[in-house]
A and B are shown apart, each in its own frame.
Chain A
Amino acid sequence: SAVISQKPSRDICQRGTSLTIQCQVDSQVTMMFWYRQQPGQSLTLIATANQGSEATYESGFVIDKFPISRPNLTFSTLTVSNMSPEDSSIYLCSVEAVYGYTFGSGTRLTVV
């Protein structure tokens, strides 16, 4: 199964700033997915990132707030822009694996 390296694992950021989260996969994958997990909640899909095209965002998420890059088939970044305390969450990337979907270990973001 694919192995995902996600960083940073955690960060504390000032409101109004931006944080870029990186996701590296050990194999080439067509689609990469970015999720948000708010405290005590389930996972919510932010967007799907395909190499060579713009990411597809889910309802309630916009590119200006969560710009995504997908420069190649093994790497993607998610930026959380102009952060507010409401953005404090765990952000996870995921890829389709042989058996189900594999997740990175997540980035725990706290905005103060």
Chain B
Amino acid sequence: GQQLNQSPQSMFIQEGEDVSMNCTSSSIFNTWLWYKQDPGEGPVLLIALYKAGELTSNGRLTAQFGITRKDSFLNISASIPSDVGIYFCAGLRGGSGGSNYKLTFGKGTLLTVNP
């Protein structure tokens, strides 16, 4: 099925550094979601974005919904060791229609934080 283009695929950073990752798509989404998955767990929602241009923060995390509705980015500031994990973006078209409630996932960004 269709997937979002998420980059980078992996990142190795030092504790305290800032991190940025993004997702792009050839088609429009009306909702963007960012998830984190720890080993042995299901994805946990970090931030939800509902409007083009929206910028939302959750602690050290900031995410933006691109103005074209075809992209989104996630920033993590002052990284700490527990930020380690896989981060996924997901898009939702929404509205009426058979496939509009289904999430489309990016391939994930594996983040490693060196203490």
Contacts and interface: CB of A to CB of B under 8 A. Distances in A.
B40 to A, nearest CB: 7
A30 B92 CA distance: 17
A52 interface: no
Interface residues of A, number: 27
Nearest to B106: A42
B42 A59 contact: no
Q: Contact residue range for chain B?
A: 20 to 34
Closest CB pairs A-B (n = 4) = A103-B42, A100-B48, A100-B45, A42-B105
Given A42-B106, A59-B1, A100-B48, 4 more contacts: A45-B102, A92-B42, A99-B48, A100-B31
14 contacts: A4-B42, A6-B42, A33-B102, A41-B107, A42-B105, A42-B106, A45-B102, A96-B101, A100-B33, A100-B48, A103-B42, A104-B42, A106-B40, A108-B40
